[in-house]
Amino acid sequence: MNLRQSLRLPESGQTIVLILHAAEKERMEGKYVMGLIPEEGGKLAVVFDDSVTFHRDIVEKYGLKPLGGGWCTIDTSRQVLLLSGRSTQYGMEPDRNMTLAVFQAHFPNYYCDRTE
């Protein structure tokens, strides 16, 4: 799954870029980072990439100014998306509920939640 999509959040009206890079499989797990894209005027983005080892790898690969991050599990068979944890390099993003809303906007038929 390779995707880049601008999503408008229904409650706030804010537009956020969602970037997903993951192998197509029943259960995708990996790190994500919320950050700003300086090359695009400081647009806010959430980037999930299951191919990286560290949160800083996402920051470097996608040119982000990091705000924080965590761990994401996407279970396509059960249609469940869970966010948890925090980045040891950058801490938790400022608004985990906003991150959840971004994923929910892309996966409207999924049960999306946080597990802290």
Residue 55 maps to which CATH number?
A: 3.50.20.20
Write out pLDDT tens, residues 28-50. Answer: 999 999 999 999 999 999 999 99
Give the pLDDT confidence of 101-115 residue by residue, as tens digits: 999 999 999 999 999
Give the pair of three-digit tokens for residue 24.
């197509």
pLDDT at 1: 87
What value does the mean pLDDT take over residues 74-97? Answer: 97
Q: What Å distances lie between residue 22 and 52, 73, 91, 104, 115, CA to CA?
A: 10, 11, 22, 17, 21
Mean pLDDT, residues 57-65 taken together: 98
Task: State how many domains the chain has.
Answer: 1
pTM of the predicted protein model:
0.95
First vs last C-alpha separation in the chain: 26
Q: Which domain holds residue 13?
A: 2-114
Residue 94 gets the label, from left (phi > 0), alpha (psi -120 to 50) or beta, of alpha
Residue 100 confidence (pLDDT): 96
Helices (H), the chain: 55-62, 96-106
User: Which conformational region is residue 91 in: left (phi greater than 0), alpha (psi within -120 to 50 degrees), or beta?
Assistant: left
